[in-house]
Amino acid sequence: MEAVTRNIFLYLSKSSILNTLAQKRGSSLVSGKIIAGTDFRQSIPVIRELNQKGLSTTVDHLGEFVSKPETAIQRTKEAIQTIEMIRKENLVSHMSVKMTSLGLDISDDLVISNMIKILETAEEHDVMITIDMEDETRCGKTLDLFKQFKSQYSCVSTVLQAYLYRTEQDLKDLRPLDPFLRLVKGAYKEPPSVAFPDKKDVDAQYKKLIEQSLTYGLYTAVATHDDQMIEYTKELTERLNIPKDRFEFQMLFGMRNQTQLELAKQGYHVRVYVPYGRDWYGYFMRRLAERPANISFAFKGLFKK
C-alpha cells in the first residue's frame, strides 16, 4: 500500500497542469511550513533565525525541468543575485541548484555557460553550490558536468543517491576529486532496472555509502530524517574516530525541527535545506510520496475557512 501511495504522488509530481494551478492558488498554503517564502527576500528572516539557532542552511530556488532558454537564463540571473545576497546579508548558507532549471534539458552549451556564471560568482563570494541530483536519466550527465566544474572550481559539490545501482561506482570515481558530497536515499520514481526496489536494500546501501564516503576521507553530508541512519552515523564516526568537522547532517526545512536542534546541541553540524519560490509543486509532491504524515497540515489547511 505504501509503495502504491508513493507511486501515485510521484506520478502526480510530473503534472504540469497541477503545477500551474499550485503556483497560482496554493503558495500561501505551504509558505513558512515546507517552503521559507515565495522569494528569497521573504526567506531571509527564516534563514537568519535558523542560523541564530546554530543551524546552517542551503537555499534552493524551487523549479525544475525548464524547457525555454530564456527561463534558464532568468534562473541563472536570480541564482547570482541570491549568492550576492547571502554574502551581503551575512547568512551562513550554501546554495543548491537543479541543473534542469539551468538548461540541462535544452543544450550542453547553455547549462555549462549558466553554471560557469554561477560558479564564478560563488567563488568570488565564497558560497558553496551543491548540484542536486535529479532522476536517473540525468544522473550520468550531471556527474560528468560536475567533474568538469570541480576541476576548475572548489566551491561546487553534488549529491549521490543510495537507491541507484550505479552509485557505489560513482562514489569511487568521484573520490580523487575530494568532493563535499551529500548522500541521500533518492526521491524519484525509478524502475527496478536502475534502482533497488526494496526499501530495506536502499537503507543497507545508504549505510554502506556513508561508511565508504567517510573512510575515503570525503566531507560527507548525511541528508536524512531517519533516526536509524542518524544513529548509525553517530556510532560509525565515533568508532572510526572521524571528527565532527568532517561530516554534517542535513534535513529539509520544516521536517524534524526538534531533532535538528538536538543534534546541533550535541555538537554536530546541521544544515537545513531551505526551499523558496512559487514553483513548489514538484518538491511538495515528492515530500508527500516520502511521508504523507509530514504534510497533513497542508490538507487540514485546505478545509479551513
103 vs 134 by CB, closer to ligand FDA: 134
Is 173 designated active site? no
124 vs 231 by CB, closer to ligand FDA: 231
Element housing 93 (H / E) = strand 93-97
Smallest distance from ligand FDA to CB 24, Å: 26
Residues between 62 and 91 with contacts to ligand FDA, criterion CB under 6 A: none
How many Cα atoms within 13 Å fall on the side-chain side of residue 148?
12
By CB under 6 A, residue 185 contacts ligand FDA: yes
- Which one is catalytic: 60, 132, 203, 279? 132
In 3D, which of 53, 66, 75 has the Cα closest to residue 16?
A: 66
Question: What mask, x for binding ligand FDA by CB under 6 A, covers residues 200 to 239?
Answer: -----------------------xxxx-------------
37 vs 254 by CB, closer to ligand FDA: 254
Question: What mask, x for binding ligand FDA by CB under 6 A, covers residues 242 to 281?
Answer: --------xxx--xx----------------x--------
Q: Rounded to 5 degrees, what are φ and ψ at 75? A: -60, -35
- Choice from 43, 142, 161, 260 touching ligand FDA (CB under 6 A): 161
User: CB–CB of 58/130 below 8 Å?
Assistant: yes
What's the full length of the chain, in residues?
305
Give the number of other CB atoms < 10 A from CB of residue 11. 12
Smallest distance from ligand FDA to CB 272, Å: 8
Give the number of other CB atoms < 10 A from CB of residue 3. 10
- Which one is catalytic: 182, 256, 271, 287? 182
Q: Using CA atoms, how far apart are residues 6 and 27, in angstroms rounded to an integer?
A: 23
Specify the 3-state DSSP secondary structure of 81: helix
Is 132 designated active site? yes
Specify the 3-state DSSP secondary structure of 249: strand
| Contact residues for ligand FDA, defined by CB under 6 A | 132-133, 159, 161, 184-188, 223-226, 250-252, 255-256, 273, 290-291, 294
